[in-house]
Amino acid sequence: MNAGKNRAQNQKNAPAKPQKPVKVKKKPTANQSSEHTQVIQWYPGHMTKTKRRIEKDLKLVDAVAEIIDARIPVSSRNPDIARLTEGKPRIVLLNKCDMADPRSTDKWVSFLSRENVRAIPVDCRSGRGVDKFVPVLTEMLRDRIESYKAKGMVNPSMRVMIVGIPNVGKSTFINRIAKKTKATAADRPGVTRGNQWFTVSKGFEMLDTPGVLWPKFDDQTVGEHLAFTGAIKSEVMDTELLAVRLIDLLKERKTPEFVERYKLTGDDLVLQSYEILEKIAEHRGMLISGGEADAERAAYTLLDEFRAAKLGRITLELP
Ligand code: G4P
């Protein structure tokens, strides 16, 4: 089942090609590491067009499933989604929960439930949690289903739209949940021509093209969290600075995976973050001519390993 993936591919890659990335290249020194910030700016080109498309498609659906990254539930939500989907039943999928701290994920589920938002932790890569999607939706949409039936519709089919920022796992989810490709929409009045719908289970159909909204960040922390997790590409910012900011967080958490993986001692962990980056380079044998630590290479390695959850299951944002 690749249709969803293929169609989503272009959109998925869109934020990797910002029109005017502003790159601030400044190497931090040991004693300015933590205070040093960089400006990450982003100018997505198709935001308005995409928003309009989502608004139009929303008229066709009964519910919206918003996928967010369980490691950064605040930063991976586009604030426009709440506004755009106002009045629609909404379910939140906390995806990539295999990489997030399980206790923090539980806190998020409870928090969202207090806000009257149904949230399900899922790991779309392995499929864990995905089986809860239809039962929760059915419960959420019970009244709506009953009202369709009361109007004389036999076996009414509920339509759901998947939305989320790029790289949160929309295509992975669609590919996992979609049973078969079927353009059932063709028979429906008012349905946009060309829209394809997947059958999810009896009584549920999903729009195969997920609504992609770009992340929004006026706030530096949001930009950094998106970059740490790989939701936005590192090329638009300085990799060493980003790694230093990540070390600021990791040295507080001291996860065993981080400490052991880079053979960091207690003495290392009290150093400035840039010095820790140099230690990581030394411990990994990443040296440049003259035996100096190759901090840039270490920065790439650290970010790659964080993104692959090799430094532990870490949630960066709590409710
Ligand atoms: P998108 O449509 O929202 O843009 O995201 P997509 O499904 O393409 O997923 C982005 C990346 O996140 C993919 O990795 C995908 O495998 C991974 N991913 C999605 N869901 C999960 C999850 O629950 N857990 C984990 N650990 N990863 C997940 P990739 O490296 O870009 O692609 P691939 O090598 O896996 O094909």
Write a three-state SS string for 202-237: CCEEEECCCEECCCCCCCHHHHHHHHHCCCCCHHHC
Mutation to probe ligand 1, out of 125, 130, 208 (largest number of atoms < 8 A from CB): 125
DSSP 251-282: HHH--HHHHHHTT--HHHHTS-HHHHHHHHHH
- Which residue CA neighbors atom 9 of ligand 1 most closely? 169
| CB-side neighbour CA atoms (13 Å) of 90 | 21
pLDDT confidence of residue 262 = 96
What is the model's pTM? 0.83
Contact 72, 123 (CB under 8 A): no
Q: Tell which atom from ligand 1 comes closest to the C-alpha of 166.
A: 4
Q: How far is the CA of 270 from the centre of ligand 1 (A)?
A: 35
* Nearest residue to 170 (alpha-carbon basis) of 134, 122, 202, 128: 122
Q: Tell which atom from ligand 1 comes closest to the C-alpha of 172.
A: 7
C-alpha dihedral (302, 308, 312, 315), degrees to nearest 10: 100
pLDDT confidence of residue 260 = 95
Q: How far is the CA of 294 from the centre of ligand 1 (A)?
A: 30
pLDDT confidence of residue 270 = 94
C-alpha distances in Å from residue 245, one per residue of 28, 36, 220, 298, 315: 11, 8, 11, 14, 15
pLDDT confidence of residue 106 = 98
- The Cα 269–Cα 275 span in angstroms is 9
- The Cα 205–Cα 178 span in angstroms is 9
pLDDT confidence of residue 200 = 84
- The Cα 152–Cα 24 span in angstroms is 61
- Which residue CA neighbors atom 18 of ligand 1 most closely? 169
Q: How far is the CA of 177 from the centre of ligand 1 (A)?
A: 14
Whose tokens are 């829209």? That residue is 195
pLDDT confidence of residue 42 = 52
Q: Tell which atom from ligand 1 comes closest to the C-alpha of 210.
A: 2
Residue 316 in 3-state DSSP?
Answer: coil
Tens-place pLDDT, residues 251-283: 988 889 999 999 999 999 999 999 999 999 999
Which residue stretches of 59-199 are H helix?
79-84, 102-114, 133-140, 142-150, 170-177
pLDDT confidence of residue 14 = 37
Q: How far is the CA of 202 from the centre of ligand 1 (A)?
A: 27
Q: How far is the CA of 295 from the centre of ligand 1 (A)?
A: 28
Q: How far is the CA of 168 from the centre of ligand 1 (A)?
A: 7
pLDDT confidence of residue 231 = 87
pLDDT along the chain (319 residues), means of 10: 41 37 41 48 62 86 95 91 85 97 97 94 96 93 91 88 91 83 44 67 83 76 91 78 95 91 94 97 93 95 95 95
Contact 231, 44 (CB under 8 A): no
Q: How far is the CA of 260 from the centre of ligand 1 (A)?
A: 27
- Which residue CA neighbors atom 19 of ligand 1 most closely? 169
- Within 6 A (CB) of ligand 1 lie 8, 12, 95-96, 98-99, 123-125, 164, 166-172
